[in-house]
Structure 1
């Protein structure tokens, strides 16, 4: 679901309907999804021991021992090669972003996720790479306000994810992720509220380019506040899981997409 960010540039530029063929949508999404899958496998290989101590992640194939390290590594290499080959043949402009994403993923899994605050910025960078990759794939230049909105939204969501991990894991937080020992609920709550405000401001500035989109700001605000409430109640803060498991978040997201689509294409 995170890779749907690739379609944000053509969608918000008003070009997603009729501007491209089906294959022009399919190959970038497939290439990026394969590479992202490879990076997740690498991350699971590096996090194998800590995942085995996690109440939920211990059931993942590698942590549960249902697949060997060697086999997982082979799959990761295979997915990476196929991804780059597809991009080279169908979407050459995507290759630098694919390589950048994979390199950042390796650095994140080995070094960056251990550094206070840096891990949050790194997660946000993954979303920005997806956004810029979508712009490159469809030859669309993203506006500065959209860039800032996505960056701050990603920072908001990654902060919420860390806060939920802190609440859910409690005393075992350090066993799963060492950097959690250096965070506190107070610091993360402050950052969560601060980024929610800045997301609204930057999204408002983006909407000024399409006046009718200003009516979608309350939807954005409700989604942010709903996510904050979810995290503070101790529920899972992962963006994908939150969207799929929280009916209100899912409904407001569908309404937002429908409204923006109507404004841009109706």
Structure 2
């Protein structure tokens, strides 16, 4: 259906969620609400019990959306502009709360009228059809929609435009031969991106207590480490997805994070929530084969990461301390899974080392932002003038980690574990090289926003880390 010059042409009504935008504002609003105050979660069932219209109205009354950052479908938006330029009447007709719909309509400036859910009526399916028929007559309008909730509206429309259809809408479109606007389907690579599989390498820390105890060939311990790795990795992926939900608005304003599967709308939030449920089931099912202490550490990790996503990440300094603690928890998980004790030295080294890397992450964010004096970075507790302090604290933590390692190497414990302790000494300068190189590159603006990912991908870091691991292994076997 081409743009029309006839002023009396049937108006074009357009759905919002899944049609004009690649997303669902009910779910986005819900996570904005929980992020604002997690206690609202306890009120949601009571609102839902009074009906979807009340639920939507209650959420919309308490949060705001940013219309400029939403993932609009370019094909649909271009089509609406053409129709509008040709003089056609365009109506935004959506089950989204009126507050959100009005904000989007004001931002786009394309619509002659807005029909949306109010506190009494949920404008979807039959109610949407009735409202459009009452306003424009049966067959007196064209309609663009995407889901099973739009089927009744399609039936009453003069012509239908089916956008990115679900299986119900696709079946209707095929049966009626109506116009279809397809979008790119999510690929397996997109799902892997959602899971952040590359981040699973961080969970290799689980094996560190076993390695440092020289139990390289202990089959039960190796199996326990493998199970713990799977459990922690799937749990971490679940938390990454939830964190993406809470950070949708911020991610959409970020130059690279806006391409994440949920921020871009490539994957739907219901799909993400189903994935979270599956991942957590796998995580706890795997953990059931390990000691109860591991299950306790896993539960504590989930609580800590959820707290980080909800509020701690916006708190000055507490955020980086929490990140360092989350890395250290992987060591504790490995110890719990294998029954190996974790030394004070290892915990101290881990805390300082990962605190330095966490501060690099914040430093890079500050460098990348165009803040003026007194302004805070979005979603964080840091201001422009904090950059130097963050760098100083990060480098001090790097040197502290190397110092702890050097003191450990000179301890009686090392002399008992390693026949040739001198072979372990290069680890201290290796740690200094890794951390100081990262800080220098960060100050040159040549650092990835996640320094751990940088270490994993950087061949120099890989080479030096491999050399250090080989020295440790040889020293233990010699």
**Same fold (TM > 0.5):** yes
TM-score between the two structures when normalised by the length of structure 1: 0.93
**CA drift at 1:182:** 6.7
Q: Is the 8 A contact 1:226 1:249 kept in 2?
A: no
The aligned residue for residue 181 of structure 1 is: 383
TM-score between the two structures when normalised by the length of structure 2: 0.53
Q: Larger % of helix: which?
A: 1
- Structure 2: where are the runs of 5+ without partners? 1-200, 415-420
Instruction: Say if 1:201 and 1:120 are closer, same or farther in 2 by CA, change over 3 A.
Output: same
Q: How does 1:1-266 map to 2 (within 5 A)?
A: 1-18=201-218, 20=220, 22-171=222-371, 174=376, 176-181=378-383, 184-208=386-410, 209-210=413-414, 211-212=421-422, 213-234=424-445, 235-266=447-478
The whole-number CA distance in structure 1 between the counterparts of 2:384 and 2:340 is 40
The whole-number CA distance in structure 1 between the counterparts of 2:437 and 2:241 is 31
**CA drift at 1:121:** 0.7
**CA drift at 1:245:** 3.5
Q: Is the 8 A contact 1:116 1:182 kept in 2?
A: no
Q: Is the 8 A contact 2:403 2:428 kept in 1?
A: no
CA displacement, residues 175-212 of structure 1 (integer Å, 9 cap, x when unaligned)? 64332337611111110121112111111122223223
CA displacement, residues 30-63 of structure 1 (integer Å, 9 cap, x when unaligned)? 0111111111111111111101111111111111
Q: Is the 8 A contact 2:241 2:276 kept in 1?
A: yes
**CA drift at 1:220:** 1.6
The whole-number CA distance in structure 1 between the counterparts of 2:377 and 2:390 is 19
Q: Is the 8 A contact 1:51 1:176 kept in 2?
A: no
Larger deviation: 218-227 or 150-159?
A: 218-227
The whole-number CA distance in structure 1 between the counterparts of 2:385 and 2:236 is 27
Instruction: Say if 1:263 and 1:183 are closer, same or farther in 2 by CA, change over 3 A.
Output: farther
Cα RMSD between the aligned structures? 1.9
Q: Is the 8 A contact 2:366 2:384 kept in 1?
A: no
**CA drift at 1:66:** 0.9
- Structure showing greater Rg: 2
The whole-number CA distance in structure 2 between the counterparts of 1:237 and 1:45 is 20
Larger RCO: Structure 1 or Structure 2 (Cα < 8 Å, ≥ 6 residues apart)?
1
CA displacement, residues 56-112 of structure 1 (integer Å, 9 cap, x when unaligned)? 111111111011112111211221122112111344331001100100011101111
The whole-number CA distance in structure 2 between the counterparts of 1:33 and 1:26 is 10
The whole-number CA distance in structure 2 between the counterparts of 1:13 and 1:42 is 35
User: Aligned pair count?
Assistant: 266
Larger deviation: 71-80 or 242-251?
A: 242-251
Larger deviation: 130-139 or 64-73?
A: 64-73
- Structure 1: where are the runs of 5+ without partners? none
**CA drift at 1:237:** 4.3
